[in-house]
A and B are shown apart, each in its own frame.
Chain A
């Protein structure tokens, strides 16, 4: 198959023989940024640190409300009213901020910049849609190998309708050591504990895979589980600090994590430190390759994914050939069998995702491509799916928010 890909892509590429000339505007490019010489940094940093420590441990940023956006008025009681999303900077030339938005109106409540010399790279939320943990890493990105840079952690609390809709504070959780990749993050439903999965970078031989739980309030490492050697594939990290590989159930003590071609359930109250021996597999049977990343409901009974499905058929998942649509399909974690299709529609030609799911699985916030008025036209949309209906939301897709791991509700 690899050879077929090589020959086919080169065949298509070779069809292009010339390109049109580059047209540059008659404008001056941006001025070169000031790069302080290294010997200046130490005394300046020392002086600044005295002030910074006093401020940073409590509040790093206190974002004022620029538009006094009122609390969401059209919110459904079941659906979180606010989200926080990475505002992906194109070209890696500027750090990623996060945007706080109203789920239903699309109004932007706040834009939060990362602390100096860092970029936000991950986000996960508690169950209250007001409490989030953000991961940050040094910026500019290392030209060598960015995923293994240390992560520092920040608590973002949002207070819609107030003068200070977003408050960012550095968490006392220790930064991850250089060489470990963050493959999953999850904040407990009550926001008191932060779970993170770490994978050693294969080129650095820095140890086995780990799942750690930290206290949000004290930063203390509460539990650690160790996985198999790094030679085994950890089906996790896909760019940003992923929030779709680790799920904290509503009971507050059970974690479900994405492992290899399925999921495993870990009761964090039970003794043990072996990530595999002390957890049990759960049945995930959706066809990988034709489904989006699976999402687990907080009751732990259901796993759902957006799967390619044949048009005009109620078959669940599995098809990509010919005409097909997307079926937002749920499976029982007990049996692995499909239990229902929440919605079928849209186009299966591009990514579809489940971005949030209710505790029972009755409602999801999903991303899909819908057919436009003209042939071949597809219109991307984020919307609420329930009772086989898709209700579009005013989600700022055009602003470059990476889906699915760049947003948390």
Chain B
């Protein structure tokens, strides 16, 4: 009997674990290690952040689902990886520290035959002074990164709405809290959902709303922008986004590295090296992501963290990490099998794998500050990575395959992204975007880097319906309800 251990139970980890169990059956063991007791459909946190959904609408308890599936669930955080075993054993293992009420703080060694790192990110609030400490959000801004954060953001938002109803103007600042952030899409959704919420509450005219982000142009989204096939034109997402911001009366600051957050004020550096500041009454600033801080040790106890992980804490996989400057980047730099190059029984999926480099062009300010959005690796692509790795490991265990048999390369897969611009059965809108491939391939698709037959975008009510339906479908799927395997990632 082989044992697969999956660290993390987000979109990619949950997908990997559940498919692996389906493929491997009862003869083999699948263990999930995750510090949280609940699964969270993160895309709907946006609606929690404006009071359109509750925390309970976007989360469910993992333990009963895993019990039903025959998956061994340990509510614990992974601390270290020992891929060569220890002095008296060659069996690799990880150390975990329980986080549930019963065993909180207790440590355990968990042996594995195969390991999937799907830990997701550490929300690195501590990277920006005043944004927070370590993984914890600070007192000056709000976040929608977790369901709890989003519920808190809604309380702050409702307080602002009350002030506006009482005649007090409020200034909203939404975007990214550091020059190396990703997840601009979540902030994009949040600013438009707030805008609609304020409209519905009849106080939009009392609000000044501004976007701030590390993108070098509006609509970069950490993907170097996108050209959509629209109305006979290859239309840049810059035009698409600027149009939407203009229509809704939103100002924007782009190319910004937020350096400091204080009560009601941020300081930031722009791409030209100039420094400026902005005041706010309500701010939601996405933190940068980092690896969760896993350590790795060799058989003799030597620290091999640098061998397995990139400096940002994400796990190295079969990517080309020595591509060098932007001019040398190619689509083929991106990983295919997600297998660790040093230890073939370890894989990393979703945010946990180390990308070879950004997708967007990096810009260094005259002060030496690097400002570049880091690549998005959430949602559909992370689920596809989880499934592909589960298939490969299943083939390695059951069929004796010596190499991974499935791939999920971001330069060869597309993504469907539905970004909410306001909720409402007949008044809601969302931007429905399809992008193929996610990482532009300028050799295959000269000029824009993407297949114009597969890269489209449009704003409308239909996209909102799709986003709402996806909310229910993916929670259904994650709960492993009847037909869950038929629902695509």
| Chains A and B form a bound pair | no
Residues of A within 8 A of B (CB): none
Residues of B within 8 A of A (CB): none
